[in-house]
Amino acid sequence: MKRYLCLLLALISINALAEWKAIAISSVNAKVYYEPSSIKQYGDNKRLWILVDLPSLQANNAKSQKEYREYDCNEERMKILQINYFSELKGEGITVDTDTDEWAWRYIMPNTIDLMILNRICKQS
């Protein structure tokens, strides 16, 4: 029981410490944020957490999702490593689903939110 309580407190602390910065609102009205302190160098690439507040309740009862992504700054491409879906906005509430299947690399199209993220994180050293 103590172990679960400690884990719960750690998760609450991490969420409270996260400073999500708004990036954009998507064409379907999803609000997209990133967490600057989560940016990590991984070889020549960068990984970070993205938060998406969804415009409506999804089929899996999610109102938001947190995505762990990897960006290849040299090739201008990205892939999603994991997605956690939450019952409330801002990644709050309970986890209603998790997708741990690593997605394939995909090249980033011009004038997209992904390009905004890539430009922002790849300029950081």
Query: Which domains, and CATH codes, for the chain?
Result: 20-122 (2.40.128.710)
Residue 79 forms beta bridges with which residues? Answer: 70
User: Both tokens of residue 75?
Assistant: 């090739």
Q: What is the pLDDT of residues 66-98, one digit of tens each?
A: 999 999 999 999 999 999 999 999 999 999 999
CA–CA separation, 97 vs 54, rounded Å? 14
Query: Are the C-beta atoms of residues 57 and 80 closer than 8 Å to each other?
Result: no
The pTM of this model reads 0.82
Cβ atoms 49, 68 nearer than 8 A: yes
Give the pLDDT band (50/70/90) at residue 18: confident
- Residue 91 is given by DSSP the state G
Q: What is the mean pLDDT of residues 96-111?
A: 94
Q: What is the DSSP letter of 37?
A: G
How far does CA 88 lie from the centroid of its chain? 15
